[in-house]
Every structure is written in structure tokens, then in C-alpha cells.
Amino acid sequence: MPRVLIADKLSPAAINIFAERGVDADVKTGLSKDELLKIIGDYDGLAVRSATKADKEVIAVAKNLKVIGRAGIGVDNVDIPAATAAGIVVMNTPFGNSITTAEHAIAMMFALARQLPAADQSTQAGKWEKNRFMGVELYGKTLGLIGAGNIGGIVADRANGLKMHVIAYDPFLSPERAVEIGVEKVELDALLKRADVITLHTPLTEKTRNILSAKNLAKTKKGVLIVNCARGGLVDEAALRKLLDEGHVGGAGFDVFVEEPAKENPLFGAENFVATPHLGASTVEAQENVALQVAEQMSDYLLTGAVTNALNSPSVTAEEAPRLKPFVALADKLGLLAGQMVDFGVKAIDIAYEGDVTQLNTRPLTAACLAGVMRPMLAEINMVSAPAVAKERGITVSESKQDDSPIYDSLIRITVNTEKGKRSFAGTVMAGAPRVVEVKGMDLDAPFSPTMIYVNNLDKPGFIAGFSAQVAEAGVNIATFNLGRVAAGEEAIALVGVDQAPSSDLMEKIRALPHVKEARALGF
């Protein structure tokens, strides 16, 4: 009989699920690190919330451990790379608190629209300032969702019930899915210009960090209400405070902050600012749901091998692993390149395999491609969750194979179909290392560097000199420089590996060079 250690407090109903399924569950909460190290080797599964730390030391001595289940979303307390290396599946329960978090965002909207916290404080102080608190109706107002995934979709449903008009910015929201959840899909600038209320429902990634920057906040309507129950860092807090004080932003409600616990914050003390201490998932129902889900998922895996909501790589047999490894790396990096090169309206992703790679198990390769494409906007995505997320977002995924490859032994090509057209990227493995061999139909041969600059320009004399001068002036060292073009004088591309991440100022200067059509900073 499999044994599971429940190291943090779970609902008694969750414990019953383990027992009913035939899993022996021991409840031992509040263990010290030393106590955990002494006993973890006896267990097949470990169920935690956020208190217990499943770090490298714990995983190193957990010789029988097969699965770690986190009752909740965040897994900062689990060393996923160490678990993966040890062959331990790490699961979370990403949907158990979705309704609770969505309801918290709706509650924030009402609190801001009717100034409830300030009105409550004033009334209980005996002031009865009836004329001071003039609110606004949510009925008929335009709600702008930044992020329309699971939680954003629930907020949209509730807002539609309030007879609000809902618009949404989400690069991975298909037109069909937008109709299904009752929203109008728009670009970010349009959302900022039109929304009376803005709520954020997106992970924190380099692409979404400060998505409501000072520049973007300035584009909003006067009197806009802003709600963030997603992640700290999505909004420039200092810039928002300035606009609150100036009266441009009518109110803001935050459940999350850049630094937590938030003992101090630029927003604290601002008029019509409402704060809660990261309560998004804090309801009896949500805590019950995630506990039940983690018990069911862990039991299923231990008894049948079924994997649900896993956060690390899918299983690969010992025989497949050595041959697959370099191609998984290629698929991931090629997808990440594609994901950083498209900004709006992903409708379909096609992955084509040519040559020897077609003889391998391509399922993990396709999953790695999808995860790479979506990672710039969805930080938590991985090879296991990517196919399901693509399906949820209404993205059509197709896979094709061709036994022969005209030039290379093996080739992987990703074509991303967006509402603005198609973009294609191809790569291969040479001497065990992934390389880019085609971008926008132009041939080149470039290794992946941790930091790169991509430029699309007209093939005219002086570009390389001008580019190099700007990079040198910024103190950025060039490691590799690879070029491709259609023909002399026509379109050309450059993929440049650099030793330091280029600043936004440098990228603007590169974009301003003569004949440059597009320039992007890339990270791998």
C-alpha cells in the first residue's frame, strides 16, 4: 500500500479520500527540517501547502518518493528541478481557488465603485458623511481584462451578469474563445483607452512585468478603477500612486504587492485605495477544494500512474532520454523564440518534423514547442500543461512529419498563425547543440545565446556599422553575429548574441536606425 505524508494541515475530507482509495496517509504537521529529513524516506508521496519546504536536502534523502502534491497554485516551497532529476512528479491544484480569486476581484470592484472601506470607517466614527461618498454604478461600464484565462473568464462571466461590457487583452485568446466567454478581444492600447475598470489576471513574467507602466497608465481614462488580485509587479506602484493623488485614477484595489508581506508600500495612504493581504484564495471553499484535489491527484498517480496538473517534464523512457534530450532543448528554445516574436492573436501553431527526428517520440517535443511559445506570457507553463492550456485558449495545434529533410539530418519548424499573419522559425541540432537555421523564410545559422538581439531590416550598406556603433556606445559586447537575407537589397535579418541584456533605450536607438523594420530583445 502506498504511503503519503501529509506535512501541512489538510481537510479531514482529503484524508478520507486517501483512505478510500487505498493509500496510507500519515498526518504529521509542524515538522522541523531535521524531523522531516529523518522520516521522508519512508514515504511514496508528500502532500504540502506552503509551510513545508521540499528542498534539495529533503529530496536527496527521499529515496522512495514518487510524487509531491501542493494544495494550491504556488510551488515556491518545492525544488522542482531537484524533484525532476530524482524522477519525482510535482503536482499543484491550479483551479481549486479560481472562483474565490475571481470573486475577490469583483468584491474589489464594488468596494472601489462605492468607496465602501472609507464609508465604513467614517460611519463607525459617527460622522455620517452621506454627501462625501458619491459612488459610480458598474452597470453599463466597460471592464477591461488583462488576461482572459481561467480566472479572467470567471470574472468576465460575473461582469456580464452585472450588465457590464467586457473587453479583454490576451495574446492567447482566440476569437472563438472570446465569443464563448462573452468578451470583445482588443489590443492593449484599445483596452487602456476604453476601460472604465481594469482588472489583471495574468502571471508575472518579463513580458507582463509593469504591463501597467507609467506610460500605459497615462493612456487610461480619467477616473478609471484598477484592480490587481493576480501578482505583484504587474503595475508600477509608484506611478499609480502619482495618478491616484492627481485624480486621474479614480481608485485602485490591490490584493498583491511587489514586496510581501507589504509592511510599507507607495500606495498605502492614498485616497480611494483599498488593500487586502493576499486573500485571493482565502475562503473555506477554496481551501477545501485544493485539499480534495491534491488528494485525488496523488492517489490517482500512485495507484494508476495517471498524471494531472504536473509541473515538471513528462516521463520519457531510459532508452529514449539520450536521443530526445538535445531535441527537447531545440524545441523549447525554438518555441521561446517564436513566443517572443509574436504579440497578438495566436490562432494556430503548427510543428513540422523532418528527417531523423521523425523516428523519435515527438509528443514531448511538441509539448516543449508549445510551452516555449506560450512561456513569455504564461510563466508557469511547462511541457505537461502546455497542450491543455493551448486547448483551453482555443489555439489549434497541428503536427506533421516528413521522413526526408532536404538539407539537415533533422529539422523542426514552428509556424505560428496569428490574426496578423504567419511567422515561421526552423532549427536543427548540430554537435548536440540547438541552432536556428531559418527565420521568416530566410536562411541563417545561429546558435542560441542567453541574451540576443533580433533585427529585421532592408539589406542596405551601413546597417551593420550603425548597429555595431549603437551597441558599442551602450557598452554591450557582441558574442555572435549571424545574418540572413532574401536577396541583395531586399529584406534581411540579424540574430546577435550579446553578453549583457540590452536596455530599452538601446533597443529604441536600434529601431531608429535607417532601414530597420523591427528589433527585439530576446532571452533564452
Give the amino acid at 10: L
In the set 248, 278, 423, 485, the catalytic residue is 278
Cell of 500: 549583457
Q: What is the dihedral of CA 313, 64, 297, 295, to 10 degrees?
A: -150
Distance CA 55, CA 5 (A): 16
Distance CA 193, CA 217 (A): 10
Contacts of 89 (CB under 8 A, 6+ apart): 66, 67, 68, 83, 301, 307, 310, 312
Which residue has 533580433 as its cell numbers?
Answer: 454
Distance CA 31, CA 314 (A): 31
Measured on CA atoms in the order 438, 441, 442, 443, is the torsion positive or negative?
positive
In the set 49, 104, 177, 231, the catalytic residue is 231
Cβ contact 156:171 at 8 Å: no
Long-range contacts at 437-443 (CB < 8 A, ≥ 24 apart): 437/408, 437/411, 438/413, 438/484, 439/337, 439/484, 439/493, 439/495, 440/491, 440/493, 441/486, 442/484, 442/485, 442/486, 442/491, 442/492, 442/493, 443/484
Distance CA 52, CA 36 (A): 9
Distance CA 337, CA 346 (A): 14
**Whether residue 184 lies in the annotated active site:** no
**Whether residue 231 lies in the annotated active site:** yes
Helix, strand and coil content of the chain, in percent to the nearest 5, comes to 35, 25, 40
Task: For residue 451, count other CB atoms closer than 10 A to its CB.
Answer: 17
Contacts of 514 (CB under 8 A, 6+ apart): 460, 462, 463, 466
Cell of 209: 512585468
Surface-to-core class of residue 316, CB atoms within 10 Å of its CB (0-12 exposed, 13-18 middle, 19+ buried): middle
Task: Judge if the upstream peptide bond of residue 326 is cis by omega within 30 degrees of 0.
Answer: no
Distance CA 44, CA 28 (A): 15
Surface-to-core class of residue 514, CB atoms within 10 Å of its CB (0-12 exposed, 13-18 middle, 19+ buried): exposed
Measured on CA atoms in the order 7, 8, 11, 14, is the torsion positive or negative?
negative
Q: Which helix (H) or strand (E) holds 68?
A: strand 67-70
Cell of 490: 531586399
Q: Sheet holding 89-91: strands in order across? A: 24-27, 3-6, 45-48, 67-70, 89-91
Distance CA 193, CA 224 (A): 10
Which residue has 495618478 as its cell numbers?
Answer: 243
Catalytic residues: 231, 260, 278
